[in-house]
Amino acid sequence: MKNIFGITLKDLEDFFIENKDKKFRATQIFEFLYKKRIFDLDKMTNIGNNNKELLRENFDFSFIKIKSKQEDKDVKKYLFELKDGNFIESVLMYHDYGISICVSSQVGCNMGCKFCESGRLKKVRNLEAYEIVEQILLIEKDIKERISHVVVMGIGEPFDNYENLKDFIKIINCNKGIDIGARHITISTCGLIPGIKRFMEDFNEINLAISLHAPNDTIRNKIMPINKVYNIKELINILKEYEKKTKRRITFEYIMLENINDSNECAIELAKLVKDLNCYINLIPYNETENIEFKRSKKVQILSFYDILKKNNINVTIRKEFGRKVDAACGQLRANQMGRK
């Protein structure tokens, strides 16, 4: 039985039409679920008993569970237990522009990025759309506030779970649904080109972020195995097409790893690589973990790298750090409940 929180408005409309009812019934249900946040069918006052019965027979209304929560001043990390006993994590961050959440899209990840704590657990399975949606609903319930920005950058490669990602985006972006604006939703990929192609056809207003982390194939092959399948040239070519089609600015994520990808030469090479794209580079100070040998670049080197990009007229920022105390920083999410620590 499908979970109701993974059903798009269109699919629910089709469901009611197939069951000889009116299409607008789907909007009524969506308004209860996502506007009024009433999840109990018995409390949906203007829905008839027949409809309630029909929904009960066809959809599961249950939730995943918040297993634990760790907090630091501007960040909260949530560990969720899924119904099959697997675990995933999400991170909530308070910014001056709103509240953002970084959600997971898979249990584990097969992409094998060498610096990534999240990917140490190989992919167990894809998350279903409802399991991604419920991360948002449960966290909003916990903080009693609405989330303004969503980033799919937690555990997993979202384009390796495209169908569920697609439904998730439709549900959270729907104005009868959770209603988060397209410009406030970002999907981050390590560079799965078939996924980027589908994404630019399906969603031309949602933000795209690329985990680049290297200015050439020699370095990228060493730290990101996906580069041996889709190399940098192919990646840049598809991004040029993406830019032409969507007119959107692309974000590049670049984790600063000492003596790996942080030299001044790397900065010059990176500037040349992206100079023809409308893009923005986010330099991320690496979060060292006890399980992985990479070191964080020295502050002075991060600043030098930043200056070189700036001098070459590249839009660049150094990411504000969140959540180091609670292991919630970028690349630190992990399923440590599963004995991976």
* Residues of the shown chain interacting with ligand SF4 in the complex, contacts defined by CB under 6 A: 109, 111-113, 116, 118-119, 155-157, 190, 211
Residue positions annotated with a catalytic role: 89, 330
Are 104 and 156 in contact, with CB atoms under 8 Å apart? yes
Residue 116 or 232 having the CB closest to ligand SF4: 116
How many Cβ atoms are within 10 Å of 332's Cβ, its own excluded? Answer: 20
DSSP symbols for 87-121: EEEEEEEEETTEEEEEE--EES-SS--TT-SGGGS
3-state secondary structure of 68: strand
Pairing of strands 125-126, 106-107: antiparallel
Pairing of strands 315-318, 279-285: parallel
- Shortest Å, Cβ 294 to ligand SF4: 12
- Shortest Å, Cβ 199 to ligand SF4: 15
Strand partners, 81: 65, 87
- Shortest Å, Cβ 84 to ligand SF4: 20
Residue with smallest beta-carbon separation from ligand SF4: 119
Backbone φ, ψ for residue 249 (5° rounding): -80, 140
Residue 111 or 127 having the CB closest to ligand SF4: 111
Q: Which of 262, 98, 269, 96 is nearest to 186 (CA)?
A: 98
The Cα–Cα gap between 319 and 281 comes to 10
- Shortest Å, Cβ 187 to ligand SF4: 12
Orientation angle between helical segments 299-311 and 264-274, nearest 10 degrees:
30
Residue 119 or 177 having the CB closest to ligand SF4: 119
Q: Name the one residue in this structure whose structure tokens are 């930043």.
A: 306
User: Which two three-digit tokens encode residue 143?
Assistant: 């903080």
- Shortest Å, Cβ 335 to ligand SF4: 11
- Shortest Å, Cβ 118 to ligand SF4: 4
Sign of dihedral through CA atoms 42, 45, 47, 50?
Answer: positive
- H or E stretch covering 126: strand 125-126
Residue 133 or 155 having the CB closest to ligand SF4: 155
3-state secondary structure of 327: coil
Residue 112 or 304 having the CB closest to ligand SF4: 112
Residue 177 or 191 having the CB closest to ligand SF4: 191
